[in-house]
């Protein structure tokens, strides 16, 4: 049966319904897996409000509107990283202990870090992995192309990153001190929100630059 998924000719082809459904199912399984004996059950619940809303929205629109396979892989990659943080809480993911066990070296000591940096990885990954879905959404639902598409994609990434920081701020005001610290994961850094947004913007720039380079190589090969 022919699939009814419309898109501009310049867009990447949409994933098949089976591909999209399979990757979304893996995302849902990652949420369930992270909920097996999490370090902080209340924080796990709070951290999964947005991922579950995202998955639900993607499932409900699956038959009529789909992203490319690469975009779904980016969404799944971001979910897997986020769910690791949801399981341990962002400030307590033991990446340094894991690396020390495997290699006998401490990444924090080598880099001179005084805090757990996993939350920084998640925000950088948001820019790297979620830029493609945002770009495809703008490309299919608006007349934006070229530089304006790039600019508005960056603006959307930065705006949604800032919106998340506002949600953290408002949510943190209504949580107890211990719960707020687990959810916010600022680790006493007064510039935590600004650094998180900067990393999301950096990740988005790297993603768009990579897409530009790949597109240039594709056109060069075609000619």
Q: What is the pLDDT of residue 166?
A: 86
Phi and psi of 38, rounded to 5°? -70, 160
**Rounded-to-integer distance, Cα 93 and Cα 175, Å:** 21
Can you say how many angstroms the Cα of residue 209 is from the centroid of all Cα atoms in its chain? 18
Q: Which residues fall within 8 angstroms of residue 64, CB to CB, at 6 or more apart?
A: 4, 5
Strand partners, 14: 68
pLDDT of residue 181: 57
Q: Cβ–Cβ contacts within 10 Å for residue 189, how many? A: 15
Nearest to 134 by CA among 216, 185, 71, 61: 71
The CA-based dihedral angle spanning residues 48, 131, 112, 34, taken in that order and rounded to the nearest 10 degrees: 20
Which two three-digit tokens encode residue 132?
């493609």
Cα-based distances in Å from 185 to 3, 54, 189, 207: 44, 22, 9, 26
Instruction: Spell out where the chain has E strands.
Output: none
Q: How far apart are CA 67 and CA 24, in angstroms?
A: 12
Tokens for 146, please give them.
């070229």
pLDDT in tens, 175-221: 656 555 555 555 667 788 899 999 999 999 999 999 988 877 665 66
Instruction: Give the span between the Cα atoms of 69 and 17, in whole angstroms.
Output: 10
Task: Look at the pTM and tell me if it is higher than 0.75.
Answer: yes
Per-residue tokens: 129: 């992995």
What is the DSSP annotation of 115-178?
S--HHHHHHHHHHHHHHHHHHHHHHHHS---HHHHHHHHHHHHHHHHHHHHHHHHHHHHTS-HH
- Taking only the tens place, the pLDDT of each residue in 42-79 is 889 989 999 999 999 999 999 888 999 999 999 999 99
Mean pLDDT of the chain: 88
Q: 171, 173, 135, 128: which is closest to 156 by C-alpha?
A: 135
Q: In this structure, what are the phi and psi dihedrals at residue 2, rounded to the nearest 5 degrees?
A: -70, 135
Which pair of tokens denotes residue 58?
Answer: 């993607």
């Amino acid at each position: 049966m022919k699939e009814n998924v419309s898109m501009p000719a310049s867009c990447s082809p949409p994933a098949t319904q089976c591909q999209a459904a399979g990757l979304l199912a893996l995302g849902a399984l990652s949420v369930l897996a992270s909920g097996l004996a999490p370090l902080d059950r209340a924080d796990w619940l709070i951290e999964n409000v947005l991922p579950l809303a995202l998955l639900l929205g993607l499932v409900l629109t699956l038959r009529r509107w789909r992203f490319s396979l690469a975009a779904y892989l980016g969404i799944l990659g971001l979910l897997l990283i986020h769910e690791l943080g949801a399981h341990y809480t962002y400030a307590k993911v033991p990446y340094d202990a894991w690396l020390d066990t495997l290699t006998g070296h401490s990444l924090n000591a080598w880099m001179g870090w005084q805090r757990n940096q996993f939350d920084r990885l998640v925000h950088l990954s948001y820019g790297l992995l979620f830029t493609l879905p945002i770009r495809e959404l703008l490309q299919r639902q608006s007349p934006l192309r070229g530089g304006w598409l790039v600019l508005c994609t960056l603006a959307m990434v930065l705006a949604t990153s800032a919106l998340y920081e506002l949600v953290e701020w408002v949510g943190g005001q209504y949580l107890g001190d211990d719960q707020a610290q687990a959810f916010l994961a600022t680790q006493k850094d007064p510039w935590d929100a600004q650094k998180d947004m900067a990393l999301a913007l950096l990740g988005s720039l790297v993603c768009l630059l990579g897409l530009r380079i790949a597109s240039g190589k594709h056109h060069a090969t075609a000619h």
